[in-house]
Chains A and B, each alone.
Chain A
């Protein structure tokens, strides 16, 4: 504990700021590189996204400054209020949202559009942090754990109702933060097992999967037969797990695929695992228009892989990306901005970018762990988790490791909502970290 209180600005974590600035500038250059044409008279063209992005960056930095100048207790004290407002806006958006490519997750005033779901991540993080830091909260009780999960998932449900499933999935990342705060270890095991089970369910015929699962259960039963003889609960547990997995794979997954997911989502999932959609899940495209969308997502991933793959070791050089510059990759300044890096700077550039991201996330965890107050720590973990989820899923989908869901690459993707919300997230974290010696409740 240092006795001397340094000035506010010198208490800000300079490494985080540096990483943040590098990433936003790389993002600006990346958007510039896909938008710039050699025929342009000047680079200052207001109709180009990179200029808009620059303005958004200015706004973000300005708001960041305001956040730095705000009292750190403000965030914890208003967390629930902001969360309530956030939920309300999300709810409202379901009804008054602007239809953008089939999802109604945008609010629009004139030409300015804004996605409440992006900003809601911040208030959810704040609310979760606030809840977990309440003195009366005991996160070892089931009740409080359920409340924590509810805080994280209610906005996600609302966003699903807005038909923006990709963004809703982001809210799953709060489980990481909650895990740090005491969710049982089994949550990870169950989580990963579920993911594995879903994949296996999709790839292996159902009857065969049933036999495999039963076989594994019997095998385990034989291995732990001594325990089973002594312990009735082991029996119940084994049969329970076996029943759950069979139910999950035989009933739940087919149900979700048949009745919940939409055609393009099913197609994208099967595209990622590299298989054809089985007949039972293939849905008749409504009005014939959907057929095109499927091809579009296939096309996206293919072009994106071509762009990244053609970058080679050192890339084609700045402004020399033939695929990105000539608009072969759709959405290349937003969701697929990583292509611009991959093509122009190759493996070296992509590698450095990934290291930058990981450094930022590890730094945030480092910051989190040095917080005195639980609120700041939970919030920092939330930020790290959100960044991680966006980073991992976005890059994975550009290289064909994950299905295409429309979530942005933090700091790089073009888009005011995205840049602003991530900036605000970082600046709140910086502000809280500046007061890490203070106990914030």
Chain B
């Protein structure tokens, strides 16, 4: 037709190219300049699957498992796969639930996770439920059993040592230590489970999967290039003797207190009991929260690890140490005697001593064996007032350094968390307390383990190790080996020998001899074990508590420290029984029975009645409940006070605001009215 090009074709071509250009520019922005779509695509399309490896098992010194993983089954359901003609009645019958529960749970699951995704219908089926379900499994389409592990404590003991697992809290997630965790993960909350979390946990496997629009995982993302394999947790071999631990718990039943037994040669803890103890199996699985609340409310505070969190004045059990320092600084010689006639009067007020017969403190051995208060008060004064230090303040510093090196006044560094540090006073402490005006008489009680000195039972037991080893100790710890490797780098700190001071062996021999006398002919004769040379020291600790607003003198704490055998020490023990009376009556037999049990593996027939008396002892007195309820009342009151205070400040703020508002309104309305009136007048 036309030979000349029709100009309109160019218009149309222009429209075509123009629209294509607009699309290209839009694509340029969408694909190159905006990053958010890439992030969004990854967020929606990549599923991070975490595979939890089995957690490490914890064994005792004889290879007995103390914690292992038990298989439990969760029932999961994919709601959309459940057929219409599903036999709900039979299903409910098998699981032992009623139909309402079924319908409620089912719809809840469906709403929460959608119909296409698998979600948990029921956690931790009981063994019967599992068995019955497995028999009828074929008829329940859409449901499935999923294996999972939970921690199990076969001995039902050592709860405070082993600890428990719990879900990582939002607060914990903020800390660096838990940066690799995500919400819903379990972690050790206390005890060994917490301190050896990294060892026990193993390495979680992380697998990146592509997921589809219904959130179902599909293929590995980038063929698994970013994945990490799951590595099983490593096992722990402990020094702890499961039998000894259980025996100690039994001896401590119906008493409040704690027991620590350490192998002096290694620092390995053989037993650590805080009484009353609890069954660690309570703190696992689906009832954990409920049981925890129950234990927490208990007046006797079973969740408190008294063996290392409670501090006691050591009482007479500190006397060997007082003597040790005095002998080492040269304040006294072993033959030094003190004319005690039942009291110490040199500091004005009389300090009573249990013994009246002259000569019971004629030399160091006798004084320690009879636990003469006068003798050790005086010896302590002699030490800190020693001329070569130049004044009590400097003298106390020397004494403080000795005690600090003995492991007192600071956490020993045991490998479970939340250890207490006790109280070890130094000159600054007394300067502050007495405005710098004090002398050796002011602090004389410290020499006999009363006053401002407070130790944890763990520190007391560690002190025994120092005497048993004649001058050194290893940091007390539970774990002997990780996956049977005792040289694991995690354990390296516990292989370091702590030498306390260069105290001569002969000085230690004097102390040991005197402590043996305590058992042979002194205050703890009843704790003697035939054929075993035991060194020990009793302690009877005065203590007070506030009841009904009054400071009341409570029954004494019964204390005992010991180690045995003297020649080749294998066990050092510290026992504290709260408000039980004389050290010799309760704490000493408990320690002695434990030593016999550990060294001989059984209790001799002759000592069975003693054992029975201890087992039968019921020493939780009613004050515990009163004190506890008072404490709780006080907490509650304080809480209510705070709430009340807040309410008050809130209401005053509100009142002030409303007053200001009223005032403002008043003024403005008035002026407005005036204006209106003025306007009208015009």
Contact = CB atoms under 8 A, between A and B. Distances in A.
A308 B34 CA distance: 11
A273 B407 CA distance: 75
Contacts of A392: 19-20, 23
Interface stretch (A16-24, A44-52, A101-109, A323-331): A323-331
B45 A328 contact: yes
Interface string B20-52: 101110111011101011101110111000000
Given A306-B37, A350-B27, A396-B23, A180 B12 contact: yes
Interface in A339-380: 342-343, 346-347, 350-351, 354-355, 357-358, 361-362, 365, 368-369, 372-374, 377
A266 B142 CA distance: 41
B16 A358 contact: yes
A365 B13 contact: yes
A361 B16 contact: yes
Interface stretch (B3-11, B256-264, B520-528): B3-11
Contacts of A309: 30-31, 34, 36-38, 40-41
Interface stretch (B53-61, B209-217, B483-491, B649-657): B209-217
B605 interface: no
A365 B36 CA distance: 40
B218 interface: yes
Interface string A288-314: 000000000000000101111111110
Contacts of B213: 326-328
B571 to A, nearest CB: 63
Contacts of B30: 305, 308-309, 342, 399
B8 A313 contact: no
A401 B27 CA distance: 10
Contacts of B26: 396, 399-401
How would you classify the secondary structure of chain A's contact residues: helix, strand, loop or mixed? Answer: helix
A322 B12 contact: no
A362 B210 contact: no
Given A326-B213, A365-B9, A401 B1 contact: no
B40 A310 contact: yes
B27 A306 contact: no
A319 to B, nearest CB: 10
Contacts of B167: none
Contact of B32 (A176, A347, A372): A347
Contact of B28 (A310, A347, A361, A377): A347
A28 B23 CA distance: 23
A308 B45 contact: no
Interface string B215-242: 0001101000000000000000000000
B17 interface: yes
B23 A311 contact: no
Given A37-B218, A328-B44, A365-B13, A305 B210 contact: no
Contact of B31 (A326, A342, A400): A342
Contact of B11 (A188, A308, A388): A188
Interface string B355-382: 0000000000000000000000000000
A322 to B, nearest CB: 4
A310 to B, nearest CB: 3
B31 A354 contact: no
A38 B220 CA distance: 10
Contacts of B40: 306, 309-310
A57 interface: no
A392 B23 CA distance: 8
B35 to A, nearest CB: 9
B6 A180 contact: yes
A197 to B, nearest CB: 19
A331 to B, nearest CB: 12
A327 B23 CA distance: 24
B145 to A, nearest CB: 24
A409 interface: no
A384 B28 CA distance: 25
B652 to A, nearest CB: 44
Nearest to A192: B15
A180 B38 CA distance: 43
Nearest to B218: A326
A9 interface: no
A312 B28 CA distance: 9
B23 A354 contact: yes
A436 to B, nearest CB: 11
A233 interface: no
A327 B8 contact: no
A399 B20 contact: no
A306 B31 contact: no
A308 B30 CA distance: 7
B8 A351 contact: no
Nearest to B26: A399
B212 A328 contact: yes
B154 to A, nearest CB: 43
Contacts of A346: 31
A326 B23 contact: no
Contacts of A88: none
Contacts of A313: 31-32
B357 to A, nearest CB: 92
Given A37-B218, A392-B19, A306 B32 contact: no
A322 B45 contact: yes
Residue in A188, A306, A362 with the greatest tally of chain B CB atoms within 10 Å = A306
Residue in B19, B24, B31, B32 with the greatest tally of chain A CB atoms within 10 Å = B31
A395 interface: yes
Interface in A160-199: 176, 179-180, 188
B575 to A, nearest CB: 64
Contact of A326 (B34, B37, B45): B45
Given A322-B210, A323-B44, A354 B38 contact: no
3 pairs of A and B residues whose beta carbons are closest in the complex: A309-B37, A310-B41, A322-B45
19 contacts: A39-B219, A179-B12, A180-B9, A188-B11, A308-B30, A313-B31, A322-B42, A322-B210, A326-B213, A327-B213, A358-B20, A362-B13, A362-B16, A365-B12, A365-B16, A374-B1, A381-B12, A388-B16, A396-B23
Given A325-B218, A328-B213, A388-B19, 10 more contacts: A37-B219, A307-B41, A308-B31, A309-B40, A310-B41, A311-B31, A347-B27, A354-B20, A362-B13, A381-B12
Interface of B: 1, 5-6, 8-9, 11-13, 15-17, 19-20, 22-24, 26-28, 30-32, 34, 36-38, 40-42, 44-46, 210-213, 218-219, 221
